[in-house]
Amino acid sequence: MTAPTILITGCSSGIGYHCAHALKKRSWRVFASCRSQVDCERLAAEGLESARLDYCDQASIAAAVDGVLKATDGRLDALFNNGAYANPGASEDLATEHLRRLIETNFIGWYDLTRRVVPVMRSQGSGRIVNCSSILGFLGVRFAGAYVASKFAVEGWTDTLRLELKGTGIHVSLIEPGPIESRMLDNARDRFMRTIDVKRSPFRHEYAREYSRISSGSRSSRFKLGPDAVLAKLVHALENPRPRARYRVTVPTHVGAWLKRLLPTAALDRVLLRQR
Protein backbone atom coordinates (compact mmCIF):
# COMPACT_ATOMS: atom_id res chain seq x y z
CA MET A 1 0.00 0.00 0.00
CA THR A 2 1.10 3.57 -0.64
CA ALA A 3 2.25 5.34 2.50
CA PRO A 4 -0.19 8.01 3.75
CA THR A 5 1.11 11.55 3.31
CA ILE A 6 1.17 14.40 5.80
CA LEU A 7 2.34 18.01 5.75
CA ILE A 8 3.52 19.30 9.13
CA THR A 9 4.43 22.92 9.82
CA GLY A 10 6.84 24.31 12.39
CA CYS A 11 9.28 21.40 12.26
CA SER A 12 12.54 23.15 13.07
CA SER A 13 12.27 22.06 16.72
CA GLY A 14 9.88 21.02 19.47
CA ILE A 15 6.55 19.36 18.76
CA GLY A 16 6.78 19.58 14.97
CA TYR A 17 10.29 18.18 14.82
CA HIS A 18 9.48 15.29 17.13
CA CYS A 19 6.22 14.38 15.42
CA ALA A 20 7.75 14.52 11.94
CA HIS A 21 10.43 11.97 12.80
CA ALA A 22 8.04 9.79 14.81
CA LEU A 23 5.41 9.63 12.05
CA LYS A 24 8.05 8.71 9.51
CA LYS A 25 8.91 5.73 11.74
CA ARG A 26 5.20 4.83 11.65
CA SER A 27 5.43 4.59 7.84
CA TRP A 28 3.93 7.98 7.04
CA ARG A 29 5.41 9.95 4.17
CA VAL A 30 6.19 13.18 6.01
CA PHE A 31 6.70 16.60 4.49
CA ALA A 32 8.23 18.62 7.32
CA SER A 33 8.09 22.36 6.70
CA CYS A 34 10.08 25.16 8.32
CA ARG A 35 10.22 28.91 7.94
CA SER A 36 13.98 28.88 7.35
CA GLN A 37 15.62 27.24 4.36
CA VAL A 38 18.60 26.36 6.55
CA ASP A 39 16.33 24.33 8.83
CA CYS A 40 14.74 22.65 5.81
CA GLU A 41 18.18 21.57 4.63
CA ARG A 42 18.99 20.22 8.09
CA LEU A 43 15.81 18.13 8.13
CA ALA A 44 16.53 16.86 4.63
CA ALA A 45 19.96 15.73 5.82
CA GLU A 46 18.18 13.82 8.60
CA GLY A 47 16.12 11.92 6.03
CA LEU A 48 12.91 13.94 5.98
CA GLU A 49 11.31 15.49 2.95
CA SER A 50 11.18 19.18 3.73
CA ALA A 51 9.66 22.31 2.26
CA ARG A 52 10.10 25.96 3.17
CA LEU A 53 6.82 27.41 4.43
CA ASP A 54 6.50 30.79 6.10
CA TYR A 55 2.98 31.49 7.34
CA CYS A 56 3.59 35.22 6.75
CA ASP A 57 4.49 34.63 3.10
CA GLN A 58 1.59 33.58 0.86
CA ALA A 59 3.94 32.74 -2.00
CA SER A 60 5.86 30.29 0.18
CA ILE A 61 2.60 28.66 1.31
CA ALA A 62 1.47 28.21 -2.29
CA ALA A 63 4.88 26.91 -3.38
CA ALA A 64 5.05 24.44 -0.48
CA VAL A 65 1.61 23.00 -1.25
CA ASP A 66 2.37 22.80 -4.97
CA GLY A 67 5.66 21.04 -4.24
CA VAL A 68 4.06 18.49 -1.93
CA LEU A 69 1.24 17.72 -4.38
CA LYS A 70 3.70 17.35 -7.23
CA ALA A 71 5.73 14.87 -5.18
CA THR A 72 2.63 12.84 -4.23
CA ASP A 73 0.82 12.90 -7.59
CA GLY A 74 -1.78 15.25 -6.16
CA ARG A 75 -2.61 13.47 -2.90
CA LEU A 76 -2.41 14.69 0.68
CA ASP A 77 -3.91 12.63 3.47
CA ALA A 78 -3.27 14.89 6.44
CA LEU A 79 -2.26 18.38 7.52
CA PHE A 80 -0.90 19.24 10.97
CA ASN A 81 -0.92 23.01 11.54
CA ASN A 82 1.65 23.47 14.28
CA GLY A 83 3.99 26.39 13.59
CA ALA A 84 3.41 29.31 15.98
CA TYR A 85 5.16 31.60 18.43
CA ALA A 86 4.40 33.72 21.49
CA ASN A 87 5.18 37.40 22.10
CA PRO A 88 4.50 38.09 25.78
CA GLY A 89 3.56 41.48 27.15
CA ALA A 90 0.54 43.35 28.44
CA SER A 91 -1.84 44.54 25.74
CA GLU A 92 -1.01 48.19 26.36
CA ASP A 93 2.73 47.43 26.04
CA LEU A 94 2.76 45.32 22.88
CA ALA A 95 2.72 47.44 19.73
CA THR A 96 0.01 46.66 17.17
CA GLU A 97 2.61 45.79 14.54
CA HIS A 98 3.83 42.90 16.69
CA LEU A 99 0.28 41.67 17.28
CA ARG A 100 -0.43 41.85 13.56
CA ARG A 101 2.58 39.70 12.67
CA LEU A 102 1.77 37.16 15.36
CA ILE A 103 -1.84 36.79 14.19
CA GLU A 104 -0.58 36.43 10.62
CA THR A 105 1.72 33.59 11.68
CA ASN A 106 -0.47 31.86 14.27
CA PHE A 107 -3.82 32.08 12.52
CA ILE A 108 -4.14 33.73 9.11
CA GLY A 109 -1.34 31.63 7.63
CA TRP A 110 -3.02 28.48 8.96
CA TYR A 111 -6.27 29.59 7.34
CA ASP A 112 -4.53 30.21 4.00
CA LEU A 113 -2.70 26.87 4.02
CA THR A 114 -5.80 24.93 5.02
CA ARG A 115 -7.93 26.53 2.28
CA ARG A 116 -5.40 25.30 -0.27
CA VAL A 117 -5.48 21.76 1.12
CA VAL A 118 -9.22 21.25 1.68
CA PRO A 119 -10.15 21.02 -2.05
CA VAL A 120 -7.54 18.27 -2.49
CA MET A 121 -8.97 16.28 0.41
CA ARG A 122 -12.53 16.93 -0.72
CA SER A 123 -11.76 15.50 -4.16
CA GLN A 124 -10.21 12.43 -2.49
CA GLY A 125 -13.21 12.01 -0.22
CA SER A 126 -10.95 11.77 2.81
CA GLY A 127 -8.41 13.64 4.91
CA ARG A 128 -7.38 14.67 8.39
CA ILE A 129 -6.76 18.25 9.53
CA VAL A 130 -5.25 18.66 12.99
CA ASN A 131 -4.68 22.10 14.49
CA CYS A 132 -2.35 22.50 17.47
CA SER A 133 -4.03 24.94 19.83
CA SER A 134 -3.18 25.39 23.51
CA ILE A 135 -4.65 25.64 26.99
CA LEU A 136 -4.56 29.35 26.11
CA GLY A 137 -7.04 28.61 23.34
CA PHE A 138 -9.80 28.54 25.95
CA LEU A 139 -8.30 30.33 28.98
CA GLY A 140 -6.96 33.87 28.99
CA VAL A 141 -4.02 34.85 31.20
CA ARG A 142 -2.29 38.16 31.80
CA PHE A 143 0.66 39.17 29.63
CA ALA A 144 -0.17 36.67 26.89
CA GLY A 145 -2.97 38.53 25.12
CA ALA A 146 -1.56 38.29 21.59
CA TYR A 147 -0.96 34.54 21.81
CA VAL A 148 -4.31 33.98 23.56
CA ALA A 149 -6.10 35.92 20.82
CA SER A 150 -4.47 33.81 18.11
CA LYS A 151 -5.32 30.52 19.80
CA PHE A 152 -8.91 31.55 20.58
CA ALA A 153 -9.20 32.31 16.85
CA VAL A 154 -7.81 28.89 15.97
CA GLU A 155 -10.30 27.19 18.29
CA GLY A 156 -13.36 29.00 16.92
CA TRP A 157 -12.29 28.55 13.31
CA THR A 158 -11.55 24.85 13.83
CA ASP A 159 -14.98 24.27 15.34
CA THR A 160 -16.54 26.00 12.33
CA LEU A 161 -14.41 24.05 9.86
CA ARG A 162 -15.39 20.77 11.51
CA LEU A 163 -19.08 21.60 11.01
CA GLU A 164 -18.58 22.77 7.43
CA LEU A 165 -16.74 19.59 6.43
CA LYS A 166 -19.13 17.16 8.11
CA GLY A 167 -19.96 14.35 5.70
CA THR A 168 -17.05 15.00 3.33
CA GLY A 169 -14.75 12.35 4.78
CA ILE A 170 -12.47 15.08 6.12
CA HIS A 171 -12.02 14.95 9.90
CA VAL A 172 -10.95 18.06 11.81
CA SER A 173 -9.41 17.92 15.28
CA LEU A 174 -7.81 20.21 17.86
CA ILE A 175 -4.90 19.35 20.13
CA GLU A 176 -4.73 21.54 23.24
CA PRO A 177 -1.36 21.17 24.98
CA GLY A 178 -0.37 22.72 28.25
CA PRO A 179 3.34 23.07 29.12
CA ILE A 180 5.46 21.00 26.71
CA GLU A 181 9.26 20.76 26.53
CA SER A 182 10.34 22.97 23.63
CA ARG A 183 12.27 26.14 22.78
CA MET A 184 9.05 28.16 22.68
CA LEU A 185 9.45 29.66 26.15
CA ASP A 186 13.05 30.71 25.47
CA ASN A 187 12.04 32.25 22.14
CA ALA A 188 9.11 34.04 23.81
CA ARG A 189 11.40 35.49 26.47
CA ASP A 190 13.76 36.79 23.77
CA ARG A 191 10.85 38.43 21.88
CA PHE A 192 9.61 39.99 25.09
CA MET A 193 12.99 41.63 25.68
CA ARG A 194 13.09 42.93 22.09
CA THR A 195 9.54 44.27 21.89
CA ILE A 196 8.51 45.45 25.37
CA ASP A 197 9.80 48.65 26.97
CA VAL A 198 9.85 47.27 30.49
CA LYS A 199 11.14 50.44 32.17
CA ARG A 200 8.18 52.49 30.93
CA SER A 201 5.55 49.85 31.65
CA PRO A 202 3.09 50.07 34.58
CA PHE A 203 3.69 46.32 34.93
CA ARG A 204 7.49 46.56 35.21
CA HIS A 205 7.64 45.06 38.71
CA GLU A 206 5.35 42.18 37.79
CA TYR A 207 7.38 41.58 34.63
CA ALA A 208 10.50 41.26 36.77
CA ARG A 209 8.88 38.62 38.98
CA GLU A 210 7.50 36.71 35.99
CA TYR A 211 10.83 36.84 34.15
CA SER A 212 12.55 35.45 37.24
CA ARG A 213 10.12 32.51 37.43
CA ILE A 214 10.52 31.73 33.73
CA SER A 215 14.31 31.97 33.88
CA SER A 216 14.49 29.66 36.90
CA GLY A 217 12.29 27.10 35.17
CA SER A 218 9.95 26.97 38.16
CA ARG A 219 6.83 28.07 36.34
CA SER A 220 4.73 25.02 35.31
CA SER A 221 7.85 22.80 35.33
CA ARG A 222 6.33 20.07 37.47
CA PHE A 223 3.49 19.62 34.97
CA LYS A 224 5.63 19.86 31.85
CA LEU A 225 5.62 16.87 29.49
CA GLY A 226 7.74 15.92 26.52
CA PRO A 227 6.51 16.15 22.91
CA ASP A 228 5.64 12.44 23.02
CA ALA A 229 2.48 13.46 24.89
CA VAL A 230 1.35 15.49 21.88
CA LEU A 231 2.47 12.79 19.47
CA ALA A 232 0.17 10.25 21.13
CA LYS A 233 -2.85 12.49 20.55
CA LEU A 234 -1.76 13.30 17.01
CA VAL A 235 -1.48 9.62 16.13
CA HIS A 236 -5.01 9.02 17.39
CA ALA A 237 -6.33 11.99 15.43
CA LEU A 238 -4.63 10.76 12.26
CA GLU A 239 -5.09 7.00 12.45
CA ASN A 240 -8.20 6.25 14.50
CA PRO A 241 -11.37 5.67 12.46
CA ARG A 242 -13.24 7.99 14.84
CA PRO A 243 -10.93 10.89 15.76
CA ARG A 244 -12.03 13.22 18.53
CA ALA A 245 -12.84 16.87 18.09
CA ARG A 246 -10.49 17.81 20.97
CA TYR A 247 -7.45 16.28 22.59
CA ARG A 248 -6.26 17.83 25.85
CA VAL A 249 -2.64 17.31 26.87
CA THR A 250 -1.11 17.81 30.37
CA VAL A 251 -2.73 18.16 33.78
CA PRO A 252 -3.11 21.98 33.60
CA THR A 253 -5.17 21.70 30.41
CA HIS A 254 -7.55 19.14 31.90
CA VAL A 255 -7.87 21.10 35.14
CA GLY A 256 -8.32 24.39 33.28
CA ALA A 257 -11.12 22.97 31.13
CA TRP A 258 -12.83 21.60 34.23
CA LEU A 259 -12.54 24.91 36.09
CA LYS A 260 -13.86 26.91 33.14
CA ARG A 261 -16.89 24.65 32.95
CA LEU A 262 -17.69 24.75 36.67
CA LEU A 263 -16.66 28.15 38.02
CA PRO A 264 -18.40 31.48 37.52
CA THR A 265 -16.25 34.04 35.72
CA ALA A 266 -15.28 36.02 38.81
CA ALA A 267 -14.10 32.89 40.62
CA LEU A 268 -12.16 31.70 37.57
CA ASP A 269 -10.50 35.12 37.33
CA ARG A 270 -9.30 34.80 40.92
CA VAL A 271 -7.79 31.40 40.17
CA LEU A 272 -6.03 32.66 37.06
CA LEU A 273 -4.67 35.74 38.82
CA ARG A 274 -3.06 33.50 41.44
CA GLN A 275 -1.19 31.57 38.73
CA ARG A 276 1.02 34.54 37.81
Instruction: Specify the DSSP class assigned to residue 229.
Output: H
Handedness of CA 43, 44, 48, 51 (dihedral sign): positive
pLDDT value of position 209: 83
pLDDT value of position 41: 97
pLDDT value of position 208: 87
pLDDT tens, the chain, 276 aa long: 689 999 999 999 999 999 999 999 999 999 999 999 999 999 999 999 999 999 999 999 999 999 999 999 999 999 999 999 999 999 999 999 999 999 999 999 999 999 999 999 999 999 999 999 999 999 999 999 999 999 999 999 999 999 999 999 999 999 999 999 988 888 999 999 999 999 999 999 999 887 766 555 545 567 899 999 999 999 999 999 999 999 999 999 999 999 999 999 999 999 999 875
CB contact at 8 A, 140 and 90? no
Helix (H) and strand (E) counts in the chain? 11, 7
Count of beta carbons in the 10 Å neighbourhood of residue 221 = 11
Catalytic, 211? Answer: no
pLDDT value of position 222: 76
Q: What is the pTM of this model?
A: 0.94
Of 85, 147, 207, 247, the active-site residue reads: 147
CB contact at 8 A, 7 and 117? yes
CB contact at 8 A, 146 and 103? yes
